[in-house]
Structure 1
């Protein structure tokens, strides 16, 4: 069987689209379609179901991808590094949410200046859907995600839990008053403006549902698409916010913001380290994966 056909097949399986696979492979879409049809004729079974948007693998397609993809990745590793070149510095392509990646993941990977990490690093930011799609399509080697992927093409390992804290500037804490939130619950905060990363209030809504079993009444007054900016606006007095503890711990210690509530069970969100199945056999990916797991042991 022609390895080029398998390579095209795995790329289509990961990309979920002939068009995206063609762009990744540097081929025309008709060429990709022709190669997939040739492979299907050789196997005597359909590998994909054509949909209005993209393709869905059949059971046979999924089984073939799970068996073939790790071996094709290993062959690509041999070709890219060279059989005799042991001194080349591999590039690790990492993707994850901007704040967590910048504040925790990248510093943990870089390490001390006199102890190089053994790979060059290229970083991309995005939400969970974006980074997992990019990983599956081969754009990234390692992804940090708040969603655990389904299926067998991606392998996820729990990295750490992130505690969420309800905070505001001291003047808002004084206005709310000691004990009022404990007595009245979420309605005690209805008059306080909300600072968030999106109009849908993802962090505040999750906190309200988990802690108060309610929905937030106030809309987002200040919306900025970065949690570090949310912290800055909150410290400046723009309103309340729900932030990861790792991000606001220093501001809490300095008194720039105050924790408004201390639930017995604080809301948590889990981060996962995700790779394409089989790629942990590649030394630079394995080293980054192991290094982050060791670093995360001190984060919780």
Structure 2
């Protein structure tokens, strides 16, 4: 038997009610029907999900596992229905064109792809700047509809009038090592192990270089140098072993360059999306934010090393409106 959502709802109902009889009443089914259905589910998963006695039912170890997955599936299905309903209701708000801005990272490209797939008639243009302030100013001035911004640590986004910011994700900052570096085979390295290295980082008006210096200082050393470079130059220098780079763990796989986690994640990077609340595309914000999230999840799914990291570090990953990060 192939398990369906209704089977997971039944399992959750039994666990929540504490007995098959009470679960049957909640589900509006006859008690024998619930018992039979539960038995079929248990046969499908290969073992009992509940221990039964005169006091009711208690989940087994297998039952706890199935319940944990069932709650996620049911929550996701419920969220999907809500999103579909909302998007259908908001279909009239789809603009004819959309102007996007971004600084660093892969989310901008992923968002453009998702928009093209979901709204093939929508004209999408992009503009890239290393300056978050410039991008925020363009959104505030009506020259951009949405902008993706990246910033380190607890740095506040530009406080431009009328701009609404929503956080998409929080990542640790990883290091980029040459494949020939003696530490490149490690899953993580301590910052102190890189005390004799030269560094390279992205340009822009963020504080990543300052945060790196501060983290190194806490670790007991001062970086030999920090070069401000574009992405291509940084990769070239890292591959040749001249510098250690800093980047999000979402960086695309590059021959000769290995992303490695830092022990304790002393540096963090946040990705946000911003738009003018009074702008012509503001009514389309919910759809754009959701597609940006879809783009982020797709990028993460194609990064097996980071996926494993997120499973062990749930404080990183996607951030929802309530501020909770999840891998």
Please give the TM-score of this superposition, normalised by the length of structure 2.
0.50
Separation of aligned partners in 1, 2:242 and 2:234: 9
Residue in structure 2 matched with residue 120 of structure 1 by the alignment: 123
Structure 2: gaps (5+ residues): 1-91, 151-155, 301-316, 318-327
C-alpha RMSD of the superposition: 3.8
Residue in structure 2 matched with residue 241 of structure 1 by the alignment: 245
Residue in structure 2 matched with residue 269 of structure 1 by the alignment: 269
Separation of aligned partners in 1, 2:139 and 2:157: 13
Residue in structure 2 matched with residue 173 of structure 1 by the alignment: 182
**Is 1:96 aligned to residue 102 of structure 2?**
yes
Distance 1:115 1:275, change over 3 A: closer
Distance 1:133 1:257, change over 3 A: same
Separation of aligned partners in 1, 2:274 and 2:239: 34
What is the CA-CA distance between 1:199 and the residue it aligns to? 10
Residue in structure 1 matched with residue 295 of structure 2 by the alignment: 295
Residue in structure 1 matched with residue 55 of structure 2 by the alignment: none
Residue in structure 1 matched with residue 212 of structure 2 by the alignment: 207
> Residue 134 of structure 1: which of 132, 138, 147 is its match?
138
Distance 1:216 1:200, change over 3 A: farther
Distance 1:286 1:119, change over 3 A: farther
Residue in structure 2 matched with residue 5 of structure 1 by the alignment: none
Residue in structure 1 matched with residue 225 of structure 2 by the alignment: 219
Distance 1:151 1:114, change over 3 A: closer
Separation of aligned partners in 1, 2:112 and 2:279: 18
Separation of aligned partners in 1, 2:288 and 2:185: 47
What is the CA-CA distance between 1:285 and the residue it aligns to? 4.7
What is the CA-CA distance between 1:109 and the residue it aligns to? 2.8
Separation of aligned partners in 1, 2:270 and 2:206: 19
Q: Is the 8 A contact 2:96 2:122 kept in 1?
A: yes
Q: Is the 8 A contact 2:136 2:158 kept in 1?
A: yes
What is the CA-CA distance between 1:94 and the residue it aligns to? 0.8
Separation of aligned partners in 2, 1:125 and 1:200: 14
Distance 1:258 1:291, change over 3 A: closer
What is the CA-CA distance between 1:217 and the residue it aligns to? 3.0
**Is 1:192 aligned to residue 197 of structure 2?**
yes
Separation of aligned partners in 1, 2:115 and 2:146: 21
Separation of aligned partners in 2, 1:199 and 1:161: 19
Structure 1: gaps (5+ residues): 1-85
Q: State the Cα deviation string for residues 29-82 of structure 1 (Å, max 9, x = none).
A: xxxxxxxxxxxxxxxxxxxxxxxxxxxxxxxxxxxxxxxxxxxxxxxxxxxxxx
Rg comparison, structure with higher value = 2
Q: Is the 8 A contact 2:132 2:158 kept in 1?
A: no
Separation of aligned partners in 1, 2:200 and 2:246: 8
**Is 1:161 aligned to residue 170 of structure 2?**
yes
Separation of aligned partners in 2, 1:167 and 1:244: 9
Q: Is the 8 A contact 2:239 2:256 kept in 1?
A: no
Please give the TM-score of this superposition, normalised by the length of structure 1.
0.54
List structure 1 runs of 4+ shifted beyond 6 angstroms.
none
Residue in structure 1 matched with residue 57 of structure 2 by the alignment: none
Residue in structure 2 matched with residue 256 of structure 1 by the alignment: 257
Residue range with higher mean Cα deviation, 125-134 or 193-202: 193-202
> Residue 109 of structure 2: which of 101, 106, 114 is its match?
106
Across the two proteins, how many residue pairs are aligned to each other? 200
